[in-house]
Amino acid sequence: MEMKRCCSCGEEKAHSEFYLNRGRPSGSCKACRAKQDKARKAAKSGPRKVARKEKLVLAEKGLKRCGDCKAIRPKTTEFFGRSTRSEDGWLHMCKACESAYRAALWAKNREKNLAQQAQARRDAGVPERKPAQSTEERNRKARERERQRRLDPAKGEELRRMQRERFKSNREVLLQRQRDYNRRNPEKIREQNARSRARRLQVEGEYTGSDLKRILIAQDFKCFYCGDVVKNASRAWHADHFIPVARGGTNHPDNIVIACADCNLSKGKKLPWEWRPERFPPPTERFTP
Ligand SMILES: [Zn+2]
Ligand SMILES: [Zn+2]
Ligand SMILES: [Zn+2]
Surrounding ion ligand 1 within 5 Å at CB are 6, 8-9, 32, 35
How far does residue 264's CA lie from ligand 2's centre (Å)?
30
Cα gap 91→66, rounded to integer Å = 9
The CATH code for residues 204-287 is 3.40.1800
Do residues 73 and 91 touch, judged by C-beta distance below 8 A? Answer: no
Do residues 248 and 263 touch, judged by C-beta distance below 8 A? Answer: no
How far does residue 191's CA lie from ligand 2's centre (Å)?
25
User: pLDDT by residue (tens digit) across 239-286?
Assistant: 899 999 888 888 899 999 999 888 998 998 999 999 998 888 887 655
- What per-residue confidence (pLDDT) applies to 289? 52
> Backbone phi, then psi, for 118, in 5-degree steps?
-60, -40
* Nearest ligand, CA 238: 3
Which H or E run contains 169?
helix 153-169
Comparing 2-6, 133-137, 157-161, which segment has the lowest mean pLDDT? 133-137
Cα gap 94→75, rounded to integer Å = 9
| Residue limits of CATH 3.40.1800 in the chain | 204-287
User: pLDDT by residue (tens digit) across 63-108?
Assistant: 999 998 888 999 988 889 988 888 888 999 998 889 889 889 988 9
